[in-house]
Amino acid sequence: MYTDDLNEQLSQLIKEARMHLPRSLERQKLLNEIVGKMQQSNKIWRGWGVVEELYEEALQVTWLWFSKNFCNYDLERGRVMTWFNTYLKFRIRDLCVAAAEAKKKHDSTQQLYDDDEVSDPIEKIPDPVGNSDPLGILEETWKWLEQHKSELSRIHLRDRKEINAYSLILCRLPTEEKTWGELAKEFGVSTSTLSSFYQRKCFPLLLDFGKSQGWLEE
């Protein structure tokens, strides 16, 4: 279980790091201490079910991103570990979709996971550890969805206006995240039709938004 004590320690170290110049030896020492505590906490999301190469690549990129941005985090918005794990999850999703598109075949994405029923590269990724609170990333994403609801709703499956970018992205966000099986039953279409439409038309929009906010690398 996530402890507030760990978050307090990380928050205090970040506050101390802010008192030193970027690239200074003092800040680097504090960053090393922060990273050490995070690694020893066993609270970094392990990406169960994700192919190891994709997870390791996403984790490496997340550490690089964290090292560059840890002093900029608003500590009032939520726990440090949740912030880290939320970015890690977004990055894994990015890589999984890229891997699926490279294969050019929808059913080939099943090779990325142990579950034979997975037909989408992001379906079985659970919420980050301790994410009982959606945090800033998810809050901003929900705001973006509502602000662009009309526009996103016009991007829909042919002859099925209710199956659109707005509704599918909303259903696939963490804390909401319905499975493709549940959504297929709800909309009365096949899981392959839904996930294929999501990969081609919906998820790229979500990625572009994440990149525009600086959450994901270009």
Cα dist from 158 to 16, 154, 188, 206, whole Å: 55, 11, 14, 20
Q: 117: which residues sit within 8 A by CB, 6+ positions away?
A: 181
Q: 84-108: b or e for each residue (b if 16 or more CB lie within 10 Å)?
A: bbbbbbbbbbbbbbebbbeeeebee
pTM to 2 decimal places: 0.52
Return the DSSP state at 198: I
**Burial of 45 by CB count in 10 Å (0-12 exposed, 13-18 middle, 19+ buried)?**
buried
pLDDT at 152: 94
- DSSP codes joined into one string, 155-182: SEETTEEEEEHHHHHHHHSTTT---HHH
- Angle at 127 (CA atoms; ends 108, 185), nearest 5 degrees: 60
Please, what is the Cα angle at 113 between 201 and 142, to 5 degrees? 40
How many residues does this entry show for the chain?
218
Give whole-number Cα distances, 169 to 67, 72, 87, 147, 207, in Å: 29, 28, 17, 14, 11
Q: Which residues of the chain have pLDDT under 50?
A: 1-2, 106, 108-135
pLDDT, residue 174, reads 59
Query: Which residues 6+ apart lie within 8 Å of 22 measured at CB?
Result: 71
Alpha helix (H) residue ranges in the chain = 4-17, 25-40, 52-69, 80-103, 135-147, 149-153, 165-172, 180-187, 191-197, 203-212
Are 22 and 50 in contact by the 8 Å Cβ rule? The answer is no
pLDDT value of position 193: 86
Q: What is the pLDDT of residue 188?
A: 92
User: pLDDT by residue (tens digit) across 17-49?
Assistant: 999 998 888 988 998 899 889 988 888 888 777
